[in-house]
Amino acid sequence: MAAKPKLMRDVLIQEFYARARKDPRLLFISADLGAESLDTFRADLPRQFIHPGICEQNMIDVAAGLASAGKTVFTYAMASFITARCYEQLKVALGAMNKPVTVVSVGVGLGYDDAGPTHYTTEDIACLRALPNIEVWTPCDEESTREITIECCERPAFRYLRLERPGLPNVYQGNFRSAMGAGFCEVAPGGDVLILSSGYMLHRALAVREQLRMEGLEVTVTDLFRIKPLASRDLAAYASRFSHVITLEEQCLAGGFGSAVAEALVDQGVAKPMLRLGLPDRYFFENGGRGHVLEKSGLGVSTLAQRITEFTAPAARSRNRLPSVPQSVSF
Amino acid sequence: MPKKATPSTARPRATTPASDTPPAPSAELLRELTGKSHWLRRELFQMVMATKKGHIPSSFSCTELLVSLYYGGFLRHRKGEPHDPSRDRLIVSKGHAAMALYPILADIGFVPPGELANFTRKDALLRMYADPSIPGIDAISGSLGHGLGIASGMCLAAKQDGRDQRAFVVLGDSECYEGSVWESAYFAAHQGLDNLVAIVDRNGLAIMGRTEELCRIGSLEEKFRSFGWESLSIDGHSYGEILPALGRLGRTGGKPLAIIANTVKGKGISFMENRSEWHNRMPNEAEQRQAWLDLETNTIAN
């Protein structure tokens, strides 16, 4: 039986810690979000750990000041609070001044199970990718988390790093580093239908692929882990090899992951039947946890398989040959 | 013409032993700085009149504060070396007045003097709100409530590195409505950033009126003190009070220093003084003549 996956935050903090021990310029700021690995860090390197209080705005401004003085800074908090709460600080202090700070968010999407709209972060891709100078990365397993962390330590830039709250099973087998430059990587080859996803939903895409395979439909699953800067030309060239392009995200459809892909394809003149699968345009108050909310949103594995089957069915194909207008489904 | 300066409401607190008080400024320095006040206001007025863009009243309320920092020996720098990493830092966080730095930056060889006439012109170096692409500007401004946090980061980095570097932040009193200012205030106190100075330009006016009528601010001196800062109030147009207040730097027992500078928005141009409607307005020709007359004859009491 496979070992329980490590929490992404522990992977990141342990990697950062190993480097911080050798380099006092590495500083870690947490707005009151802990981790087991962070306790070790705080105890061993107290001068390199900063707790600003539950103060995301000040945390980002302070990070900008520290980065101005040559420090390599990671800021760390729950996804919901390190994005929308301090959006203006991200824009002004890090974006407009282009400060090389890594903004680490934990629990993107519906990651904070049962917590409701205050903790769900379903708009961070749309909001953050709108900022010039930012890079937006979403790891999907331990290896990708580690490699992206190393990149952030060794080549600091204004990066937004979207961590899952739980640990996720391994996707990469030592091949993530070589894929980093491209920004996307085919993780499960298949037929003519392409599913692009990232993070938590990449695993759901892989589950959907298994189900579809049992039903006789082969699909390819590709991890688009860097949504900004998006390798538009390469992505469009890659997508043009498929008959259908499907995006799967745990984000609002307005301006999110699928929007970014659609923009890239349109800008590169690639017209493909496209289906953007994501969350409906509402807040989520219902109890029952992440899986339940996804089911209710039409993003359960069986429902997704059914939607993809319908979308790619021969009957739909003639319709889909019409000049491409990205298709979204609302509930 | 009437020139009613806001009276100084408080004096530096005599809470420290006499031996620890900074030396009094010399008469010669006071004369030199007074001359700089006149020079800077005239430069700024010309700069704004050239393109009819910029904010005179916000700049004129902190003129003596900025002159004190650069010419009073507090903001340590080397002429012509804006990129010297050991230079002390200054963030004019009340961004409307960041333009007030431009003539000074030209004077100390950080930006070409010819750029002053191009202020806000197409593709020119000097913009309405300053940012670090302008040599000598240490942080972007234009959005309130960022400067104190950014400066706190700079001061913390200097302390960690064992560098004798300090940072000054000029805040507007209305800027202190922003909650992020107070997030930074207790961060700086907790971190013991005694190399950080916040100077609040307490001109009492927001764009839409008087702060105490719009949404009461009360005593900023007490607020900063309660956050763990060394805090004092002065007349922000009096070099005799500004210089000793800045001289408290390094004598605060490990605390950051807050100087509440009571000022007059529009100080130096009689019809603009204490009038919020001038925040965004440009004088007509007759008003410009009057303004010039005021700037030629105006004396700032010391």
| Model ipTM value | 0.91
Q: Is the pLDDT of residue A324 over 50?
A: no
Q: Which amino acid is at A5?
A: P
Helix (H) or strand (E) holding A43: helix A36-44
* Helical spans, DSSP H, in A216-277: 232-239, 257-267
Q: Which of B149, B160, B179 sits opposite A61 (nearest CB)?
A: B149
Test A92 with B183 for CB contact under 8 angstroms.
no
Percentage of chain B lying above the pLDDT 70 cut: 92
- Asked if A192 has any chain B CB less than 8 Å from its own CB, the reply is no
How far is the alpha carbon of B135 from chain A, nearest alpha carbon, in Å?
14
Q: Would you list the domain boundaries of chain B?
A: 26-297
> Using a CB-CB distance cutoff of 8 angstroms, which residues of chain A are in contact with residue B142?
92
- Note the pLDDT of residue A322: 46
Per-residue pLDDT at B18 exceeds 50: no
Mean pLDDT, chain A, rounded, equals 94
Q: How far is A261 from chain B (nearest CA, A)?
A: 32
| pLDDT confidence of residue A318 | 52
- pLDDT computed for residue B300 by the predictor: 62
- State the nearest Cα–Cα gap between B198 and chain A, in angstroms: 15
A65/B contact by beta carbon, under 8 A: yes
Asked if residue A26 has pLDDT above 90, the reply is yes
Check CB contact of A61 with chain B, cutoff 8 Å: yes
Chain B contact set for A47 (CB, 8 A): 160
Q: What is the pLDDT of residues A74-94, one digit of tens each?
A: 999 999 999 999 999 999 999
pLDDT at B290 over 70: yes
Q: Do B152 and A62 touch (CB under 8 A)?
A: yes
Give residue-wise pLDDT tens across range A215-265: 999 999 999 999 999 999 999 999 999 999 999 999 999 999 999 999 999
Residue A75 DSSP SS3: strand
Supply the pLDDT for residue A330. 42
Distance of alpha carbon A292 from alpha carbon A167, whole angstroms: 19
pLDDT of res. A2: 64
Contacts of A92 in chain B (CB under 8 A): 140, 142-143, 146
Residues of chain A with pLDDT > 90, as a percent, come to: 93
Nearest to B154 among A24, A50, A69 (CB): A69
The two beta strands, B196-202 and B167-172, are parallel
- Determine the pLDDT at residue B113: 95
What domains lie within chain A, and their CATH numbers? 8-163 (3.40.50.970), 181-328 (3.40.50.920)
Q: Counting Cβ atoms within 10 Å, is residue B49 exposed (0-12), middle (13-18) or buried (19+)?
A: middle
Closest CB to B160: pick one of A47, A89, A97.
A47
CATH architecture of the domain formed by B26-297:
3-Layer(aba) Sandwich (3.40)
Contact A31, B149 (CB under 8 A): no
Q: Is residue B297 over pLDDT 90?
A: no
In this predicted structure, what is the pLDDT of residue A317?
Answer: 52
CA distance A64 to chain B (A): 6
Per CB-CB distance under 8 Å, the chain B contacts of A53 are 183, 186-187
Position B24 scores a pLDDT of 84
Q: Is the pLDDT of residue A327 over 50?
A: no
Among A24, A50, A92, the residue with its CB nearest the CB of B146 is A92
Q: Which residues of B touch A71 (CB under 8 A)?
A: 157, 160
Is the per-residue pLDDT at B6 higher than 90? no
**DSSP codes joined into one string, chain B:** ----PPPP-------S-GGGSPPPPPHHHHHHHHHHHHHHHHHHHHHHHHHT-S-HHHHHHTHHHHHHHHHTT-S---TT-TT-TTS-EEEE-SGGGGGGGHHHHHHTTSS-GGGGGGTT-TT-S--SS--TTSTT--S--SSTT-HHHHHHHHHHHHHHHT----EEEEEETGGGGSHHHHHHHHHHHHTT-TTEEEEEEE--EETTEEHHHHS----HHHHHHHTT-EEEEEETT-HHHHHHHHTTTT-STT--EEEEEE--TTTTSGGGTT-GGGSS----HHHHHHHHHHHHH-----
Decide if A53 and B187 are in contact by the 8 Å CB cutoff: yes
Sort out which chain A residues have CB atoms less than 8 A from B127's CB and list them.
Answer: none
Residues of A in contact with B82 (CB under 8 A): none
Instruction: Say what angle helices B63-71 and B27-51 make with each other, to 10 degrees.
Output: 120
Give pLDDT tens digits for A49-66.
999 999 999 999 999 999
